[in-house]
């Protein structure tokens, strides 16, 4: 029996579970029929180890109020959040088609077609960012390509709900604990270190996805999670024009990708709307590819799944990378009292810490390698020698 099949034919909340559609790191998705006879839904049931996290129900209720604000043709409609018999589920509109991850598994996507898919993703994120909602787990597996040609963004708010960076204490405050859920292959540097997370973390993930769509590979191909996270923190991204043979990219598009993938969040696009405007300002055909060239490497499957990353693991990775986080990092463990007028407060509504990431720089080549005092002695001796030579010349 496959994982999750034991629920087939059973009731959960107001739904009868019919058939398994798929499964992933966070849960199993079923086709389910509402008891009232309305249209079937996609019912995502979280894995037991995730659904039992302390405070999950409170976070679900809080986030549900926020996510109900999102109404956009490119965002999957969430109909209900529920918990029953210790199981946590999300009911959403039932879609027909495949994920972008599944489509990429089949073959590379022609670059101009990839941009046509990508623009609706940006449109969906622009709407979310307008409401201060951060997705936190953008990746091809969370983009759905409908049979009718539509593009839908999935799993809004799920990564935040499953993280325990915000848990309610008895006095009603929100205490940040430092454990996060996300996908390492698409994680922004500040998301890894835990200094802050706002909409610019989504911009970084959008940059990784665009790079992947055009280059047919992710910017970093490490298989070990620790190496992958270190790469996001420290390693420069290979220019996209060098990442795939036969690919030509206009300078403006290359600059757009570089800006979205900047290690410093302050130098990225400020949100998806600004990135969308830059995309729409590109020339008519900003990318070309020699279709005669086949896929050069097998598509890398390592790393597309969500993972729970503890505060200790993030600390170990940042320290091993030689990165220090300033004392303001202490704020991550201090209680934050939400305004009384904002019971459905999003992460972006919390006081945002400034990035205090400091990456050690290599010594400059023009720095003196000889002590300053020694340089003065050498200079004095040279002057003395020159004076002696001048005196000899005058005497002759």
Residues serving a catalytic function are 137
Please state, in angstroms and rounded to a whole number, the distance separating the CA atoms of residues 178 and 193. 9
Place of tokens 């086709």: 31
Identify the DSSP state of 71: -
Please state, in angstroms and rounded to a whole number, the distance separating the CA atoms of residues 194 and 160. 13
Task: Spell out where the chain has E strands.
Answer: 11-12, 15-23, 27-34, 41-46, 78-84, 87-93, 97-99, 143-146, 151-153, 167-168, 174-175, 180-182, 247-249, 287-289, 307-309, 324-325, 335-336, 357-358
Place of tokens 């050498």: 378
Residues 6 or more apart whose CB falls under 8 angstroms from that of 52 comprise 86
Please state, in angstroms and rounded to a whole number, the distance separating the CA atoms of residues 228 and 39. 42
Nearest 5°: the CA angle 9, 12, 16 is 40
Please state, in angstroms and rounded to a whole number, the distance separating the CA atoms of residues 263 and 275. 16
Nearest to 305 by CA among 210, 184, 154: 184
* Helix, strand, or coil (residue 368): coil
Residues 6 or more apart whose CB falls under 8 angstroms from that of 215 comprise 240, 243, 244, 247
Bridge-based pairing of strands 143-146 and 97-99 is antiparallel
Cβ atoms of 92 and 77 closer than 8 Å = yes
Give just the sign of the alpha carbon dihedral 247, 248, 250, 254: positive
Query: How many Å from the N-terminal Cα to the C-terminal Cα in the chain?
Result: 106
């Amino acid at each position: 029996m496959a994982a999750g099949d034991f629920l087939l034919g059973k009731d959960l909340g107001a739904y009868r579970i019919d058939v398994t559609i798929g499964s992933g790191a966070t849960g199993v998705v079923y086709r389910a029929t509402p008891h009232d006879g309305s249209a079937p839904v996609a019912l995502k049931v979280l894995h037991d180890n995730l659904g039992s996290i302390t405070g999950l129900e409170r976070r679900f209720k809080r986030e549900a109020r926020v996510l109900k604000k999102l109404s956009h043709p490119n965002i999957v409609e969430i109909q209900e959040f529920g918990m029953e018999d210790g199981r946590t589920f999300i009911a959403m509109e039932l879609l027909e088609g495949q994920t972008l991850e599944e489509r990429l598994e089949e073959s590379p996507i022609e670059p101009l077609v990839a941009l046509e898919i990508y623009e609706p993703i940006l449109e969906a994120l622009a709407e979310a960012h307008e409401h201060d909602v951060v997705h936190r787990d953008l990746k091809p597996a969370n983009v759905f390509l409908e049979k009718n040609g539509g593009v839908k963004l999935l799993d809004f708010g799920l990564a935040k709900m499953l993280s325990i960076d915000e848990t309610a204490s008895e006095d009603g405050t929100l205490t940040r604990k430092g454990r996060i859920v996300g996908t390492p292959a698409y994680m922004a540097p500040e998301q890894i270190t835990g200094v802050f997370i706002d909409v610019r973390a989504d911009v970084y993930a959008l940059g990784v996805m665009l790079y992947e769509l055009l280059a047919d590979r992710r910017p970093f191909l490490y298989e070990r999670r620790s190496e992958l996270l270190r790469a996001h923190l420290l390693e420069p991204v290979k220019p996209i024009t060098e990442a795939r043979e036969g690919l030509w990219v206009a300078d403006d598009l290359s600059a757009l990708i570089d800006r979205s993938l900047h290690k410093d969040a302050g130098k990225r696009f400020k949100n998806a709307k600004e990135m969308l405007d830059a995309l729409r300002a590109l020339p008519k055909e900003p990318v070309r590819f020699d279709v005669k060239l086949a896929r050069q490497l097998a598509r890398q499957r390592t790393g597309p799944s969500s993972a729970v990353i503890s505060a200790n693991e993030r600390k170990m990775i940042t320290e091993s990378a030689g990165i220090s986080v300033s004392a303001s990092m202490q704020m991550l463990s201090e209680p934050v009292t939400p305004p009384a007028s904002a019971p459905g407060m999003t992460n972006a509504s919390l006081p945002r810490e400034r990035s205090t990431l400091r990456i050690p720089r290599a010594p400059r080549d023009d720095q003196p390698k000889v002590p300053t005092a020694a340089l003065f002695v050498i200079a004095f001796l040279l002057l003395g020698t020159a004076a002696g030579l001048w005196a000899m010349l005058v005497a002759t």
